[in-house]
Amino acid sequence: MTGQSKKKLLVLDDDAGVVDFLCESLSELGYDVTGLTAPREALLRIKTDSFDLVITDVEMPQMRGTELLSAILGEKPSQLVLLITAFGSIDLAVSTVQAGACDFIAKPFKIETLVSAIERAFRDRQIRREIVRLRKVSPLDAPEQIIAGSPAMRRVLATARKAAGTDSTTLITGETGTGKGVIAKLIHDSSARRDRPFYQLNCASVPPTLVESELFGVRRGAFTDAKEDRDGAFVAAGDGTFFLDEVGELPLEIQAKLLHVLENGRVRPLGGTSEVPIKARLIAATNRPLEPLVREGNFRQDLYYRLNIIRIEVPPLRERREDIVHLLDLFLSRACERQSRSLIGVSAAAMRRLVAYHWPGNVRELANAVERAVVLSDHDALLPEDLDLPKNGGVEALLAEGADSHIPLEEIERSYVRRVLEEHGGNKAGAARILGINRRTLYRKLKG
């Protein structure tokens, strides 16, 4: 026999008329149906034969559907059983699902309702079979749980540990959401300063007019708003670590003052007369690469050299896809715990999508996508549609989608060319160089 084999169903109801009707309707729809009216006989058949799905009435004189259910599952624990309940016995139905039935439908029902319940049962089983067994996250020796299984991240951790053994100024770079904050904290927590303060200042979230006093402190009366003395970040960090985040956002004149402070090892608050020695260790971070800013004259070169003593580059998530599964495992268990749900799995299709996506927002985007998917999902596994990831993200995703939906190579090429062009702010010469083609070819490929 060729083609897909028919699904074998067993229909059980004490009403022979109902059995006949269901057998006839379901056979017409292409199922291989056996109809029975006696539960004991059904139980025997289930033992000796194998059915893809058993559809049974709950209320029967000989044996209640619930007893039958436990007898079936006692015999065949993974047997799919769909229950038909009388209207008004929903509580019973719910408890039977909890007892292991795959679903129930209430009488009276339309045949289409039954068919969709049957199909759903098969689909859910397929999903369960496809669930990717996620490995348990192994407790890493890092204080917080930092996932770093990929060679690239292991190198990052190794450099971070070395940095922790020194007092040298450290510059952490990497796209948004790659984990720069996590690495800064790791350095502090693994350093001799771990019991001292960890003081963080984000230059992007402080208005430019206030950055100066936040950094260096202010003495009462220095300007109209300065109603009292306030310590700046360098003093607040004491002999701990000062984490200066988004350093690329610092206005040029403050950059000059910062350099002066770092060179002298002393800080003078605004409006103050005396200088205070600084003892804090400085870690700076930025998601804007500083080198182009230096070239454009928007970041002081001398300050750049002063910060860039130990350099840690946190790679984007798409360059360390091995980490995705482990991060997913961590975020999934966190999200389920937070939302008081039992742990759910990930369908193979969703996993393919997660691994192929290009993650412009990196680890943070993954964490948010998982959290949202757990809220939206009402299955026991995440499906691709729960993830709600933008389409056509990344060439790998494009290729994965292409394989599923038969996209012509030309179209994949065109989308990729467009993406490279977008990433380079529409700079055609730059995009052509990266793609290894000349500009004329680039135009041609864009037009398609």
Ligand X SMILES: Nc1ncnc2c1ncn2[C@@H]1O[C@H](COP(=O)(O)OP(=O)(O)OP(=O)(O)O)[C@@H](O)[C@H]1O
Residues engaged in binding ligand X (CB under 6 A): 145-148, 174, 176-182, 287, 327, 363-364, 367
Structural contact between residues 446 and 421, judged by C-beta atoms closer than 8 angstroms? yes
Closest by CA to 179, choosing from 411, 399, 410, 365, is 365
Interatomic CA distance for residues 432 and 436, integer angstroms: 6
- List beta partners, residue 231: 217
Pick between residue 217 and residue 315 the one whose CB is nearest to Mg ion. 315
* Chain residue at closest Cβ approach to Mg ion: 181
Among positive and negative, which fits the CA dihedral 404, 410, 415, 419?
positive
Interatomic CA distance for residues 269 and 216, integer angstroms: 5
Contact pick of 100, 181, 271, 272 for Mg ion (by CB under 5 A): 181
Count of residues that interact with Mg ion, criterion CB under 5 A: 1
In the list ligand X, Mg ion, none, the entry touching 147 (Cβ below 5 to 8 angstroms by class) is: ligand X
Residue with tokens 């397929």: 126
Sheet of 103-106: strand order equals 32-36, 8-12, 53-57, 81-85, 103-106
* Chain residue at closest Cβ approach to ligand X: 179
Pick between residue 51 and residue 331 the one whose CB is nearest to ligand X. 331
Interatomic CA distance for residues 287 and 278, integer angstroms: 26
Interatomic CA distance for residues 87 and 223, integer angstroms: 77
Closest approach of ligand X to the CB of residue 377, in Å: 21
In the list Mg ion, ligand X, none, the entry touching 393 (Cβ below 5 to 8 angstroms by class) is: none
Which region among 81-89, 111-119, 134-142, 181-189 touches Mg ion (by CB under 5 A)?
181-189
Closest approach of Mg ion to the CB of residue 279, in Å: 24
Closest approach of ligand X to the CB of residue 146, in Å: 4
Pick between residue 362 and residue 415 the one whose CB is nearest to ligand X. 362
Pick between residue 181 and residue 402 the one whose CB is nearest to ligand X. 181
Should residue 384 be labelled a site residue for Mg ion when binding is judged by CB under 5 A? no
Pick between residue 191 and residue 287 the one whose CB is nearest to ligand X. 287
Closest by CA to 180, choosing from 250, 244, 241, is 244
Pick between residue 43 and residue 354 the one whose CB is nearest to ligand X. 354
